Amino acid sequence: MRTITVVGASLAGLRAAEALRQKGFDGTITVVGAESRLPYDRPPLSKQVLAGEWGVDRVQLRDEERYGELDLDLRLGVRATGLDVAASTVALADGTTVLFDGLVIATGASPRVLPGMPDMPGLFTLRTLDDAIGLSDAVGRPGCRVVVVGAGFIGSEVAATCHRRGATVTVLEALPVPLARVLGGEMGKVCGQLHVDEGVDLRCGVGVAAVEGDERVERVVLSDGRKIDADVVVVGVGVSPATAWLDGSGLALRDGVLCDDRCFAAGSAGRIVAAGDVARWHNPWLGADMRVEHWTNAAEQGDHAAKNLLAGPDAAEPYAPVPFFWSDQYDVKIQYVGHSAPDDEIALVHGSPADRKFVVLYGRDGRLTGALAFSRPRQLMTYRRLLAEGASWETALAQEVG
């Protein structure tokens, strides 16, 4: 390989480019990014950037002057529009094409929107730095009334940050319990209680029929006809992998780019890998295909996939991480490790939910499947190791952690 193209100037894309240079690749690396900005960190968008505490310089993943060390052909502000696997070319929105010997797909995901929602001032999704800056400016106005649609992790972080800034916040969740599909009903209620305890108006089991306003957002209409006055509406109902540009490419697309256990895209003959939010790969640790939308996976998979691309299929190593993510809300750091199901058995092993400091374990069929911690990072890492080792439920419960 003499030419490698990375599509996606994201965390996963940057880590892939860095890994290629670290492994001694001295050919051409072209990085294509839809945004005009250099790669930046996304977790602070719903926290420090939205809070008005951090500027653009604080979220950059690499100092601008250090990009020279990587010797990249940066194509920023231009979107990839198509892939021809046979011709080894990526088509760009400006009419040009990029040739490659190897390809890293790291296009991430795009926020879902509510059907029929108007495009008007005051209505936001949160995915880009520009989204965060615009939302921060809007929320900073005195007396701002914010409605957040969706009580998942992003929606909850947005609600917590807006509340801390003095806005009046209402959170609308379609499910009876927030995060029940991820953490189960009992722990979902604990997460929901964080909002209630802080004075945020949390409403579960409600749908949104419309967002109304003359020149900008003025109110949200619920599915039962009730109305909530709003100056700002933030839609946080999840994301979809950014694969539309790959339609017709011949790659297998199944809620992401389908990959084997070494991150090679199915049918790519070992020349194309995928990493980050866009990749659905077979995780040997889980024994199943999965797609992970969190920072740790983007960083680690970008690095791993690029090294496998250089090594080739015969020498490539499986990518088998134990999934890990975190969320900062109010005064609580929520951390989760593993992959559990909503109906898994749970056990409280440290602390108390009432004190906002505890660890809960998840188990199924005699095996430890996950662990959730509120402001207990050190204890959680012990269970991360046990999960990697495939520990039994009995072993996990007997583990002594100070």
Q: pLDDT (tens digit, 9 = 90+) per residue, 169-221?
A: 999 999 999 999 999 999 999 999 999 999 999 999 999 999 999 999 999 99
Q: Going by C-beta distance under 8 Å and a sequence separation of 6 or more, which residues neighbour residue 182? A: 152, 188, 336, 342
Give this prediction's pTM. Answer: 0.96
Q: Is 150 exposed, middle or buried (0-12, 13-18, 19+ CB in 10 A)?
A: buried
Could you tell me which of 3, 320, 311, 253 has the C-alpha nearest to residue 107? 253
Identical fold between 3-110+240-311 and 113-237: yes
Confidence (pLDDT) at 402: 66
Confidence (pLDDT) at 401: 77
Confidence (pLDDT) at 267: 85
Residue 74, CA distances (Å) to 77, 86, 145, 365 in order: 10, 24, 40, 49
* Domain at 3-110+240-311: CATH architecture: 3-Layer(bba) Sandwich (3.50)
Give Dmax (Cα) for the chain.
62
CATH superfamily of 331-398: FAD/NAD-linked reductase, C-terminal dimerisation domain (3.30.390.30)
Question: Where do the structural domains in the chain lie, given as residue ranges?
Answer: 3-110+240-311, 113-237, 331-398
Both tokens of 183, joined, read 């953490």
Confidence (pLDDT) at 96: 97
Could you tell me which of 6, 63, 7, 74 has the C-alpha nearest to residue 40? 63
- Cα(186)–Cα(340) distance, integer angstroms: 14
- Cα(401)–Cα(396) distance, integer angstroms: 10
Phi, psi of 396 (to 5 degrees): -65, -45
CATH for 113-237 is 3.50.50.60
Confidence (pLDDT) at 99: 97
Low-confidence ranges of the chain (pLDDT < 70): 402
Both tokens of 349, joined, read 């092993």
Rg (CA), the chain: 22
Neighbours of 44 (CB within 10 A): 18
The number of CA neighbours under 13 Å toward the Cβ of 62 is 17
